[in-house]
Amino acid sequence: MRAPPRLRAAERRLTRRMAGWDSLWARRVLPAVEDAARRTKLWWGVALLLAVVGGRRGRAAATAGLAGMAVAEVLSNGVAKRLVPRDRPPKEWFHADEVRDRPDSSSFPSGHTAAAVAFTAAVTEKWPGAGALCLAATAAIAVERVHSGAHYPSDVAAGAVIGLASRALPRAVPAAWRRGRRLLPRAAPRVSGPGRRGRGPRDGRRRLPR
């Protein structure tokens, strides 16, 4: 994937700046976030917690979150990465220990971000308080994906868009189907044959005036 030169230059500067970010929070928290988000372990754990302690609302939020995440996984890892090949950021920009476990798949888009955004958006609709807590983890995952050298910022942004679309898609398809059915021409009503017109209620013969 080739972006315009100015955009590529700006993204390179932003990526290298985030790669050079060195703080206690970045060294301690972001690696833990990366490990928790691997293979969506974090969101399965959150869904289990919601279902156990949240009652009916928690179960509804967990179900919606997992459904949205599943759609995001298919769209990002199963579709977008196959259609848009892109190399990962150069390893020279990052510390050696941060880029040793990078996957070989396309950098575009960030599947971790797509799954996190889809799960968080779905949970927020069902349980806003729980969604607010998920939002903090989602933001940390988005930052970590660039800081660790796994993605460019535009990969993360595309993942966020896919995550939001993944939540809207299951509702948009049935609604579009219903609207389409309403637009289809209805079948013409059945018209009685000429032999049935004017028949009496019992014998079917036309009554003559007396």
Segment 98-141, tens digit of pLDDT: 666 777 899 999 999 999 999 999 999 999 999 999 999 999 99
Is 26 within the bounds of a domain?
yes
For residue 80, give its domain range: 15-175
- Reported as a single tens digit per residue, the pLDDT across 153-170 is 999 999 999 999 998 776
CA angle, residues 55, 58, 62, in degrees to nearest 5: 140
Helix (H) or strand (E) holding 143: helix 128-147
- Amino acid letter, 194: P
Is 7 within the bounds of a domain?
no
Burial class of residue 1 (count of CB atoms within 10 Å of its CB; 0-12, 13-18, 19+): middle
Read off the pTM.
0.79
Is 199 within the bounds of a domain?
no
Contact 137, 184 (CB under 8 A): no
Is 53 within the bounds of a domain?
yes
Instruction: Tell whether the model's pLDDT for residue 187 goes beyond 70.
Output: no
Number of domains composing the chain = 1
Is 36 within the bounds of a domain?
yes
For residue 55 the two structure tokens come to: 């009652």
Is 164 within the bounds of a domain?
yes
- Reported as a single tens digit per residue, the pLDDT across 173-186 is 555 556 666 666 65
Is 188 within the bounds of a domain?
no
Contact 120, 135 (CB under 8 A): yes
Is 182 within the bounds of a domain?
no
- Reported as a single tens digit per residue, the pLDDT across 46-91 is 999 999 999 999 999 999 999 999 999 999 999 999 999 999 999 8
Selection from 181, 188, 187, 206 nearest residue 196 by Cα: 206
